[in-house]
Amino acid sequence: MNVTIKQFKDSEELSRNAAEYIVDQAEKCILDHGFFSLVLSGGSTPRRLYEQLAGDQCRRRISWDKTHIFWGDERCVPPDHFDSNYNMTAQALLSKVPLPERNIHRIKGEIAIPNEAAIQYEAEIGDFFRNHTAAIGDFPAFDLVLLGVGNDGHTASLFPGSDILTEKKRWVATSQAPPEMAVRDRITLTIPVINHASGVIFLVSGESKRDVVQIIIEDPGRNELYPSAMIRADGEIVWFVDFDVY
The DSSP H or E segment spanning 134 is none
Task: Quote the least distance from Cβ 208 to ligand 6PG, whole Å.
Answer: 9
Sheet holding 73-75, edge to edge: 73-75, 185-189, 172-176
CB 122 within 8 A of CB 128: no
DSSP H helical segments within the chain, as ranges?
11-33, 46-54, 56-59, 85-92, 114-132, 191-195, 210-218
In the complex, least distance from residue 149 CB atom to ligand 6PG, rounded to whole angstroms: 6
Q: Which is nearer to ligand 6PG, 88 or 99 (CB)?
A: 88
Of 155, 127, 136, 142, which Cα lies nearest the Cα of 213? 155
Q: Is 235 in the site for ligand 6PG (CB under 6 A)?
A: no
- Note whether 227 binds ligand 6PG by CB under 6 A: no
Q: Which stretch binds ligand 6PG (CB under 6 A): 55-63, 102-110, 114-122, 155-163?
A: 155-163
131 lies in the binding site for ligand 6PG (CB under 6 A): no
- Least Cβ distance, residue 32 to ligand 6PG (angstroms): 27
198 lies in the site for ligand 6PG, by CB under 6 A: no
Cα pseudo-dihedral 111, 224, 155, 180, rounded to 10: 70
Q: How many residues does the chain have?
A: 246
179 binds ligand 6PG (CB under 6 A): no
Q: Show contacts with ligand 6PG in window 23-62 (CB under 6 A).
A: 41-45
By the criterion CB under 6 A, which residues form the site for ligand 6PG? 41-45, 72-73, 85, 148-150, 154-157
